[in-house]
């Protein structure tokens, strides 16, 4: 087992990564302050890992909420089902929520914890690669609104993150690839050497080699922890972690949440960011080709849906959280492995990218 | 004009109290960081004060959301109407929300600000006495759930609070009295001299004497600011501000939100807290009588609704936010002007009070 610490003063917490961690209750119980816990999971994950999770909670009063599976259910109505369960089971301010599942379960459970009785504790047990390397770490929680992704939410840090790499064995290939998109992201924004490692080891990752997966997860969490520790509430550099996300969120919203997986939309979005960076004269054509290449090696889509027009993109991108005083900021690449947050791009170049006139 | 500062480090903010403040845009504009604002108000307040509020925002891009009036609308569905307006009007992270109205508008607008894009700025312009002396100060925001009051929410401090005492001239008598309940509360929990002042000046308050009202508001805000500065997130002494609220919330929920005004339910709740304190041997019969007397002088109800049974109270009180690990804590009075937070009361005595067997 490897352990990282996300350093946020009194909100600091450990991230444990390794095989068989779901069997080690001593990793979880020190982080449960009261006498009760509520597990939130979904219909896909419950048959696989709920029993093991409940065993972690032996001796506590606990119950379970099982949500429908999918990004399409990450909304206020389903969130309200969690609140109703919490009230019916008399959860109080000392109750700890346990998020058992992928990014949707983690984001919704975290937001329920942020807002129930103005804030209670929670623990992340991510079961998808995407949740392990990205959404379970850093305290971003929330739900979608029909008019925009993650538009309702809070910063609320968990008490600990427990990453059992064994749970990747039951993950669908498509979900595994979607997670790799966020791993590649860390290489593209701040780690050219990791990008090279990923290029060399992509087949091992796709074959679920435990050693390769553990390294990729550890390195990703290290990057995430470093960036979040420096800028918890995204007043600056944390926005770099959103490389490809503004384009990607537009794809997810336009295509209907859940039709494109988040990681798939981000992969395509990162290629579009690379294309715009090339239009700005920052990336060479080879760098864009390399970005496409490494994502394609992970079986990820690299072209936006043909039915989306430039206007579709513009409409959804105009409500992005990185818009400030009406000005859109984007994450673009100065070189492979170095990204910046900037409002200083050529709108005509953006239009060419969105209209696929490049 | 008098100005108080609520001291919370980098989250500190001023509370301005005086006549005609809605005409003084220089009090508001320094606290608006971006170029846009959205006013949230209700159907009752909009015809009275929306125009003046919009004049405060001259030069900014601004729009308005008008909610239905009443505690019954303080729920997730109406909150979602605010989110929809914010997204449709392209509000971004630099947009400031302006809460113009009573406690319901303030709590909901504050919570919308806490959760929209994971947190944006807001300003409180309370127009009811209750909101001026209590809910607009201190950063408690939220909405009700059918199973419990204020069960969904966040701590989110405003950028400033603007209290224009002129707006009390249009307040209904019943609302004025409800506000006085929270003023009396400060006397009961921590200020016997203020209690005496209130007893002497009650008729002036009911007659809306501006000088008396300004003093009562200033003193109340001073108490609130002191308590909140010492315990922002209610890990201890802030709970004292909830004297009478656990009983009161049960009345509000059982009778249907809005049928009893919050201040009316709190008045009755404070009498019940006094009765239980007497049962515990802490208050004399005279002190309980005095508590009833001062609230009755403000035309407030001091007896629980006859149709509520002890079981009704118990059911609603079991989901109170002051329950910890299954144990109910209550605010009780050691003497007039001195209250404590305690789980150490006799359950049989509580039962007698709830069953009206005293």
> In A, which residues are within 8 Å of B36 by CB distance?
325-326
Nearest CA in chain B to A96: B325
Catalytic residue among A190, A219, A223, A262: A262
Average of per-residue pLDDT values in chain B: 96
pLDDT, tens digit (0-9, with 9 covering 90-100), for A260-289: 999 999 999 999 999 999 999 999 999 999
Q: Is A175 a catalytic residue?
A: no
pLDDT, tens digit (0-9, with 9 covering 90-100), for B169-205: 999 999 999 999 999 999 999 999 999 999 999 999 9
Closest CA to A42 of A102, A122, A130, A110: A102
In this prediction, residue A324 carries a pLDDT of: 83
Min CA distance, A44 vs chain B (Å)? 28
Burial B174-209 (b: 16+ CB within 10 A, else e): ebbbbbbbbbbbbbbbbbeebbebbeebbeebbeee
In this prediction, residue A149 carries a pLDDT of: 87
Residue B301 sits at φ, ψ, to 5 deg, of -70, 145
Average of per-residue pLDDT values in chain A: 96
Cβ(B25)–Cβ(B56) below 8 Å: yes
Interface confidence: ipTM more than 0.90 = yes
Split at pLDDT 50, 70, 90, the class of A126 is: very high
Nearest CA in chain B to A151: B117
In this prediction, residue B151 carries a pLDDT of: 95
Write the CB contacts of B289 (distance below 8 Å, at least 6 apart in sequence): none
pLDDT, tens digit (0-9, with 9 covering 90-100), for A199-237: 999 999 999 999 999 999 999 999 999 999 999 999 899
Q: Which of A83, A119, A155 sits opposite B145 (nearest CB)?
A: A83
> In B, which residues are within 8 Å of A117 by CB distance?
151, 153, 321
> In A, which residues are within 8 Å of B323 by CB distance?
90, 92-93
B149 interfacial to chain A (CB closer than 8 Å): no
In this prediction, residue A325 carries a pLDDT of: 85
B142 interfacial to chain A (CB closer than 8 Å): yes
Tell me: pLDDT of B323 over 90: no
Contact B154 A152 (CB under 8 A): no
Q: Which of A35, A119, A319 sits opposite B325 (nearest CB)?
A: A35
pLDDT, tens digit (0-9, with 9 covering 90-100), for B116-170: 999 999 999 999 999 999 999 999 999 999 888 899 999 999 999 999 999 999 9
Known binding site: residues of A?
69-74, 103-107, 127-128, 140, 149, 182, 245, 262
A80 interfacial to chain B (CB closer than 8 Å): yes
Tell me: pLDDT of B215 over 90: yes
Which residue has 């109750």 as its token pair?
Answer: A95
Taking the C-alpha atoms of residue A24 and residue A21, their distance in angstroms, rounded to an integer, is 5
Nearest CA in chain B to A139: B118
Burial B250-280 (b: 16+ CB within 10 A, else e): bbbbbbebeebbbbbbbbbbbbbbbbbbbbb
Split at pLDDT 50, 70, 90, the class of A320 is: confident
Catalytic residue among A232, A242, A275, A329: A242
One DSSP character per residue, A308-357 reads --HHHHHHHHTT-TTEETTEE-EEEEEETTEEEEES-S-HHHHHHHHTT-
A319 interfacial to chain B (CB closer than 8 Å): yes
Which residue has 């064994």 as its token pair?
Answer: A166
Q: Which of A80, A92, A118 sits opposite B324 (nearest CB)?
A: A92
Question: What's the distance, CA A353 to chain centroid?
Answer: 25
> In A, which residues are within 8 Å of B155 by CB distance?
118-119
The average pLDDT across A316-344 equals 91
Contact B92 A153 (CB under 8 A): no
Cβ(B145)–Cβ(A83) below 8 Å: yes
Contact A153 B324 (CB under 8 A): no
Tell me: pLDDT of A242 over 90: yes
Tell me: pLDDT of B257 over 90: no
> CB neighbours (10 Å) of residue A230?
11
HEC letters along chain B = CEEEEECCHHHCEEEEEECCHHHCHHHCHHHCCCCEEEEEEECCCHHHHHHHHHHHCCCCEEEEEEECCCHHHCCHHHHHHHHHHHHHCCCCCCCEEEEEECHHHHHHHHHHHHHECCCCEEEEEECCHHHHHHHCCCCEEEEEECCEEEEEEEECCCCCEEEEHHHHHHCCHHHHHHHHHHHHHHHHHHCHHHHHHHHHHHHHHHCCCHHHHHHHHHHHHHHHHHHHHHCCCCCCHHHHHHCCHHHHHHHHHHHCECCECHHHHHHHHHHHHHHHHHHCCCCCHHHHHHHHHHHHHCCCCCCCCCCCCHHHHHHHHCCCCCCECCECCEEEEEECCEEEEECCCCHHHHHHHHCCCC
Taking the C-alpha atoms of residue A184 and residue A198, their distance in angstroms, rounded to an integer, is 7
Contact A151 B35 (CB under 8 A): no
In this prediction, residue A322 carries a pLDDT of: 82
Tell me: pLDDT of A319 over 90: no
Contact A154 B114 (CB under 8 A): yes
Contact A153 B326 (CB under 8 A): no
pLDDT, tens digit (0-9, with 9 covering 90-100), for A128-140: 999 999 999 999 9
B103 interfacial to chain A (CB closer than 8 Å): no
Contact A118 B319 (CB under 8 A): no
Indicate left, alpha or beta for B325 from its phi (over 0: left) and psi (-120 to 50: alpha): left
Contact B115 A152 (CB under 8 A): yes
In the three-class reduction of DSSP (H, G, I as helix; E, B as strand; rest coil), residue A102 is classed as: coil
Contact B147 A323 (CB under 8 A): no
In this prediction, residue B210 carries a pLDDT of: 93
Closest CA to A185 of A239, A238, A242: A242
> In A, which residues are within 8 Å of B35 by CB distance?
325-326
B119 interfacial to chain A (CB closer than 8 Å): yes
> In A, which residues are within 8 Å of B140 by CB distance?
118
A197 interfacial to chain B (CB closer than 8 Å): no
Taking the C-alpha atoms of residue B273 and residue B333, their distance in angstroms, rounded to an integer, is 7
Taking the C-alpha atoms of residue B283 and residue B327, their distance in angstroms, rounded to an integer, is 23
Interface of B with A in 4-33 (CB under 8 A): none
How far is CA B112 from each of CA A142, A146, B105, B220, rounded to the nearest angstrom?
A: 13, 16, 10, 26
Domains, chain B, in order of start with CATH, read 2-170 (3.40.50.1970), 189-354 (1.20.1090.10)
Split at pLDDT 50, 70, 90, the class of B321 is: confident
Dihedral angle sign, alpha carbons of residues A155, A157, A163, A169: negative
pLDDT, tens digit (0-9, with 9 covering 90-100), for A148-193: 889 999 999 999 999 999 999 999 999 999 999 999 999 999 999 9
Tell me: pLDDT of B319 over 90: no
Active-site residues of B, by number, are 118, 140, 182, 224, 234, 238, 242, 245, 249, 262
Q: Is A292 a catalytic residue?
A: no
Tell me: pLDDT of B76 over 90: yes
Nearest CA in chain A to B151: A117
In this prediction, residue B223 carries a pLDDT of: 98
Q: Which of A84, A318, A324 sits opposite B93 (nearest CB)?
A: A324
Give the percent of chain A with pLDDT over 70: 100
Residue of A33, A63, A84, A115 to mutate when probing chain B, most B C-beta within 10 A: A115
Min CA distance, A33 vs chain B (Å)? 10
pLDDT, tens digit (0-9, with 9 covering 90-100), for B303-315: 999 999 999 999 9
In this prediction, residue B79 carries a pLDDT of: 98
Beta strands in chain A (DSSP E): 2-6, 13-18, 36-42, 61-67, 96-101, 121-126, 140-145, 148-155, 161-164, 323-324, 327-328, 330-335, 338-342
pLDDT, tens digit (0-9, with 9 covering 90-100), for A331-353: 999 999 999 999 999 999 999 99
């Amino acid at each position: 087992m490897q352990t990282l610490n996300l350093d946020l003063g009194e909100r600091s917490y450990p991230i444990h990564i390794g095989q068989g961690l779901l069997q080690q209750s001593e990793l979880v119980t020190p982080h449960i302050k009261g006498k009760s816990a509520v597990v939130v999971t979904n219909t896909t994950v419950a048959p696989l890992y709920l029993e093991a999770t409940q065993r972690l909670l032996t001796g506590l009063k606990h119950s379970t909420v099982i949500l429908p599976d999918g990004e399409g259910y990450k909304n206020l109505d389903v969130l309200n089902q969690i609140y109703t369960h919490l009230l019916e089971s008399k959860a109080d301010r000392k109750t700890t929520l346990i998020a058992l599942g992928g990014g949707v379960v983690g984001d919704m459970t975290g937001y329920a914890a942020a807002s129930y009785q103005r804030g209670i504790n929670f623990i992340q047990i991510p079961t998808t690669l995407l949740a392990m390397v990205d959404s379970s770490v850093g305290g971003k929680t929330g739900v979608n609104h029909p008019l925009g992704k993650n538009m309702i939410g809070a910063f609320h840090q968990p008490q600990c993150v427990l990453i059992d790499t064994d749970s990747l064995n039951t993950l669908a290939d498509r979900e595994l690839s979607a997670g790799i998109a966020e791993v590649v992201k860390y290489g593209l924004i701040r780690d050219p050497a990791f990008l090279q490692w990923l290029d060399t080891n992509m087949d091992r990752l796709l074959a679920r080699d435990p050693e390769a997966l553990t390294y990729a997860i550890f390195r990703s969490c290290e990057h995430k922890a470093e960036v979040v520790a420096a800028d918890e509430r995204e007043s600056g550099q944390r926005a770099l972690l959103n490389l490809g996300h503004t384009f990607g969120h537009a794809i997810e919203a336009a295509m209907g949440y859940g039709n494109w997986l988040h990681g798939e939309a981000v992969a395509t979005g990162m290629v579009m960011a690379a294309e715009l960076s090339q239009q700005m004269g920052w990336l060479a054509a080879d760098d864009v080709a390399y970005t496409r290449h490494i994502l394609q090696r992970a079986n990820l889509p690299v072209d936006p849906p043909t039915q989306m027009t430039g206007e579709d993109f513009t409409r959804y991108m105009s409500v992005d959280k990185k818009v400030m005083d009406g000005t859109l900021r984007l994450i673009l690449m100065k070189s492979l492995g170095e990204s910046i947050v900037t409002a200083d791009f050529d709108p005509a170049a953006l239009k060419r990218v969105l209209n696929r006139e490049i």
